[in-house]
């Protein structure tokens, strides 16, 4: 009887300790808080955390903060998260990472969709970051060049390619835009950039591209604003412009092509990095990763409407063909 009482007492004494087990806090910053891209990437990130034993609502709290497509809002958001004593910032793109860097001098930062973190001096090298920043990088000029080459294969006479840039994203996505300009130059293409100040002016932006005599359009992941893939696809089709997206949603909703990394997997691995840091790993010693899988989506219906012949090599290579 005494042994039972002692055991019962011991178990009872452990209960408060379990109840008081510390819940880790992750500051999760995003451009938007809705839409297919947001939902896909948040799900991937959460799955990555779970694989490391961190379950939202149980032993980790995600402080979700959206800038509603206003890059300037990331600075106060980062300061608020720093004041909330988050253990890790998840700051996938450049403006989030910059805001987090200045909001705290010690809190680790995990990134996911920065083209070249070495170029931006967030890390010293991909193999050994040497700072409090680590995560996944979405490659650099080579991906942009590949996307333009695929567009050139579909439009053999291509010399002038256009892109529509959301003015709210322009300053925050300067690296992306610079990489697009460099890629076009390497391929002997002229890149025509049109700025729009709000989504309602998207159609007018495409009219400007037609007036500028562009022969095709290419989007960038952030500077054309996520969530407007359907609107871009419809405007491009209206003005009979072949369009290449980075996100698969674009081709699935009427664009000609999409080619890019698997962002669900990228964010999943960013969640894994975050979980490992919460366990005590040091970002400075965590080699950054690059995308492992890429997906090419071809919309044959759109190609037919535009009167484009699809090279057999592209059709065979496509991971998804929309007929």
d(CA 169, CA 71): 7
Count the neighbouring beta carbons within 10 Å of the beta carbon of residue 194. 20
d(CA 159, CA 189): 5
Please classify residue 161 by burial: count the beta carbons closer than 10 Å to its beta carbon, then call 0-12 exposed, 13-18 middle and 19+ buried.
buried
pTM for the whole thing?
A: 0.86
How confident is the prediction for the chain on average, in pLDDT? Answer: 89
Per the CB < 8 A criterion, the answer to whether 111 and 136 are in contact is yes
Per the CB < 8 A criterion, the answer to whether 217 and 227 are in contact is no
Which stretches of the chain score pLDDT less than 70?
Answer: 1-21, 139-141, 168-172, 221-226
Confidence (pLDDT) at 7? 42
Confidence (pLDDT) at 128? 96
d(CA 253, CA 234): 8
Q: Which fold has domain 23-139+263-293?
A: Rossmann fold (3.40.50)
Residue linked to tokens 């090419």: 296
Q: How far is CA 149 from CA 51, 183, 259, 294, in A?
A: 37, 10, 11, 15
Confidence (pLDDT) at 224? 62
Confidence (pLDDT) at 172? 67
d(CA 220, CA 216): 14
Domain 141-261+295-322, CATH number (from 3.30.70.100, 3.40.50.2300, 3.50.50.60, 3.30.470.20): 3.40.50.2300
Where does the chain hold its CATH 3.40.50.2300 domain(s)?
Answer: 23-139+263-293, 141-261+295-322
Confidence (pLDDT) at 22? 84
Confidence (pLDDT) at 178? 84
Whether the CA torsion 270, 274, 279, 281 is positive or negative: it is positive
């Amino acid at each position: 009887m005494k042994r039972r009482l002692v055991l019962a007492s011991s178990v009872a004494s452990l209960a408060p300790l379990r109840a008081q087990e510390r819940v880790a806090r992750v500051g999760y910053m995003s451009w938007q808080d809705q839409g297919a891209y947001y939902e896909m990437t948040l799900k991937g990130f959460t799955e990555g955390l779970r694989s490391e034993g961190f379950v939202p609502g149980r032993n980790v709290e995600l402080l979700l903060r959206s800038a509603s497509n206003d890059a300037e809002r990331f600075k106060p958001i980062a300061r608020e998260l720093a004041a909330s004593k988050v253990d890790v910032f998840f700051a996938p793109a450049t403006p989030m990472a910059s805001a987090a860097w200045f909001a705290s001098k010690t809190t680790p930062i995990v990134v996911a969709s920065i083209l070249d973190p070495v170029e931006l001096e967030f890390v010293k090298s991909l193999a050994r970051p040497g700072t409090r920043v680590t995560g996944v990088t979405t490659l650099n000029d080579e991906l942009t060049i590949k996307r333009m080459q695929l567009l050139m294969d579909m439009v053999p006479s291509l010399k002038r390619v256009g892109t529509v840039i959301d003015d709210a994203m322009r300053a925050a996505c300067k690296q992306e835009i610079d990489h697009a300009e460099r890629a076009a130059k390497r391929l002997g293409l002229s890149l025509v950039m049109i700025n729009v100040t709000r989504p309602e002016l998207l159609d007018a932006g495409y009219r400007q591209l037609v007036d500028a005599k562009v022969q095709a359009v290419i989007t960038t992941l952030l500077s054309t604003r996520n969530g407007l893939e359907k609107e871009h696809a419809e405007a491009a089709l209206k003005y009979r412009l072949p369009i290449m997206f980075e996100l698969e949603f674009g081709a699935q909703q009427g664009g000609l092509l999409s080619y890019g990394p698997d962002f669900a997997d990228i964010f999943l691995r960013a969640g894994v990095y975050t979980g490992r840091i919460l366990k005590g790993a040091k970002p400075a010693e965590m080699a950054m990763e690059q995308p492992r899988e890429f997906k090419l989506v071809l919309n044959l219906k759109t190609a037919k409407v535009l009167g484009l012949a699809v090279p057999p090599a592209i059709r065979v290579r496509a991971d998804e063909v929309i007929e």
